[in-house]
């Protein structure tokens, strides 16, 4: 019998996947906390609020009903698909049928399904950077090539059509859009959204639009849905969303993708061979979430807005840090260039990754270095925590910076 020439235990495709840096930092901070150390963690990408009680109660009730102990259809409970269609038309104005909805194990799974369904070997996917760390990894897993399109702090971390044109190739298939953005908190205004939508139609490209932070926008900012402002995009749009951020339900794992009928039925086939349906009880909780009012998210938004003002001011008060005002989501994305190449009790960071290690070791403050999002020299700080903790953590950071010395 012929043997394989070399033994390779892990497949090349999986060996090339990077660990989620945000989850890794969070795990390290939690491990230090478990040792009894007082760590302030700005790493986590999740609301610090409990899931509203009415939702948890609906789930508890669902647990006791034997009909929920069975499989549901792969695509999700018909009532939930209907509730998602209704919610989408209420919130973004996109009118879709329940058949265009696939319920997935969180938004992340919807993103995986989308790339797996649309991307062929060698297809290029345009991803503005800084980007949420999952996008390029999920593209690579699908056999595609992630193409980073750099943005800058000066232009609010947003891409423009003329920038995008520079990265276009005959293999470009798809553009990834997220507004409000993780990690930058940037929100595209109406004119910017129209310009992007127009560009996509003119170039005949697909778009995956991640709308998971749609309700977390501040001041006059608004999340625009590209296929709503440009209906000619409809046939080439996939919308990603979920209950995680809006209803403080990260752990329940309910998300969805919405798209043209052929894309959704292909993605249902994929899901039927991989994960099947999302937990029945979690789907029942999601129905309660979506059919109920949006008053809990209004309270969370008000709290996030106060925290945003606080963290923005405190960060910019530290010499060497520059942080634009976040417009949505719950992240501040700051330039730390002015803090590099200084001595922190003898340790001299050349990169934001090294600086993040030093800050965790010496100040017991966890931040996610920009390397995780494709931009060295920056860091993402989640402000999904109490104002007291924000003050405590940023004060510690300020003290560490104050004690640092030029080299």
Phi, psi of 104, rounded to the nearest 5 degrees? -125, 170
Residue number with CB closer to ligand PMP (142 or 244): 244
Name every residue whose Cβ is closer than 8 Å to that of residue 10 and which is 6 or more positions away in sequence.
Answer: none
Q: Beta-carbon neighbour count of residue 315 at 10 Å? A: 22
Q: What is the enclosing helix (H) or strand (E) of 389?
A: helix 387-403
Tell me whether the omega of the peptide bond preceding residue 130 falls within 30 degrees of 0, making it cis.
Answer: yes
Least distance from ligand PMP to the Cβ atom of residue 211, Å: 9
Least distance from ligand PMP to the Cβ atom of residue 248, Å: 11
Least distance from ligand PMP to the Cβ atom of residue 109, Å: 7
Name the nearest CA neighbour of 128 among 222, 203, 210, 63: 210
Residue number with CB closer to ligand PMP (178 or 394): 178
Burial class (CB in 10 A: 0-12, 13-18, 19+), 188: buried
Residue number with CB closer to ligand PMP (289 or 363): 289
Least distance from ligand PMP to the Cβ atom of residue 45, Å: 4
Residue number with CB closer to ligand PMP (215 or 364): 215
For residues 255 and 101, the answer to whether their CB atoms sit within 8 Å is no
Cα dist. 258→84, 111, 123, 170, 239 in Å?
A: 9, 11, 21, 26, 5
Nearest residue relative to ligand PMP (C-beta): 106
- Binding-site ranges for ligand PMP (CB under 6 A): 45, 106-108, 132, 178, 182, 210, 212, 242, 244, 250, 255
Least distance from ligand PMP to the Cβ atom of residue 226, Å: 15
Residue number with CB closer to ligand PMP (115 or 344): 115
Residue number with CB closer to ligand PMP (192 or 314): 192
Residue number with CB closer to ligand PMP (221 or 364): 221
For residues 284 and 81, the answer to whether their CB atoms sit within 8 Å is no
Q: 185 in helix, strand or coil?
A: coil
d(C-alpha 331, C-alpha 329), whole Å: 6
Residue number with CB closer to ligand PMP (140 or 364): 140
For residues 307 and 313, the answer to whether their CB atoms sit within 8 Å is no
Least distance from ligand PMP to the Cβ atom of residue 212, Å: 4
Least distance from ligand PMP to the Cβ atom of residue 133, Å: 9
Least distance from ligand PMP to the Cβ atom of residue 26, Å: 11
d(C-alpha 150, C-alpha 68), whole Å: 46
Cα 344 vs. chain centroid, distance in angstroms?
Answer: 32
Residue with token string 């997220």 = 178
């Amino acid at each position: 019998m012929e043997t394989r020439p070399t033994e390779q235990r892990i497949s090349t495709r999986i060996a090339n996947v990077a660990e989620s840096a945000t989850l890794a930092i969070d795990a390290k901070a939690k491990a230090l906390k478990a040792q009894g150390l007082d760590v302030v963690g700005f790493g986590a990408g999740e609301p610090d609020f409990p899931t509203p009680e009415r939702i948890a109660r609906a789930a508890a009730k669902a647990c006791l009903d034997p009909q929920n102990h069975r499989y549901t259809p792969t695509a999700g409970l018909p009532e939930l698909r209907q509730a998602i269609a209704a919610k989408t038309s209420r919130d973004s104005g996109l009118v879709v049928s329940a058949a265009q909805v696939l319920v997935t194990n969180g938004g992340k799974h919807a993103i995986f399904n989308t790339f797996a369904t649309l991307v062929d070997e060698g297809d290029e996917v345009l991803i503005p950077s800084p980007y949420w760390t999952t996008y390029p990894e999920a593209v690579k897993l699908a056999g595609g090539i992630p193409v980073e399109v750099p943005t800058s702090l000066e232009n609010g971390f947003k891409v423009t059509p003329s920038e995008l044109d520079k990265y276009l190739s005959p293999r470009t298939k798809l553009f990834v859009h997220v507004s409000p953005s993780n990690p930058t908190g940037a929100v595209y205004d109406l004119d910017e959204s129209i310009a992007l939508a127009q560009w996509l139609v003119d170039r005949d490209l697909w778009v995956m639009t991640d709308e998971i932070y749609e309700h977390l926008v501040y001041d006059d900012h608004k999340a625009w849905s590209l296929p709503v402002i440009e209906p000619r995009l409809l046939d080439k749009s996939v919308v990603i969303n979920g209950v995680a951020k809006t209803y403080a339900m990260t752990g329940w794992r309910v998300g969805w993708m919405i798209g043209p009928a052929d894309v959704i039925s292909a993605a249902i086939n994929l899901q039927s061979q991989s994960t099947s349906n999302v937990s029945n009880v979690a789907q029942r909780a999601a129905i309660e979430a979506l059919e109920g009012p949006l008053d809990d998210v209004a309270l969370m938004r008000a709290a996030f807005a106060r925290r945003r003002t606080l963290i923005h001011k405190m960060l910019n008060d530290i010499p060497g840090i520059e942080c634009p005002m976040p417009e949505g989501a719950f992240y501040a994305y700051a330039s730390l260039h002015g803090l590099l190449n200084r001595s922190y009790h003898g340790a001299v960071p050349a990169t934001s990754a090294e600086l993040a290690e030093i800050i965790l070791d010496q100040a017991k403050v966890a931040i996610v270095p920009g390397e995780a999002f494709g931009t060295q020299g920056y860091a993402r700080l989640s402000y999904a925590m109490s104002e007291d903790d924000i003050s405590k953590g940023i004060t510690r950071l300020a003290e560490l910076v104050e004690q640092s010395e030029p080299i």
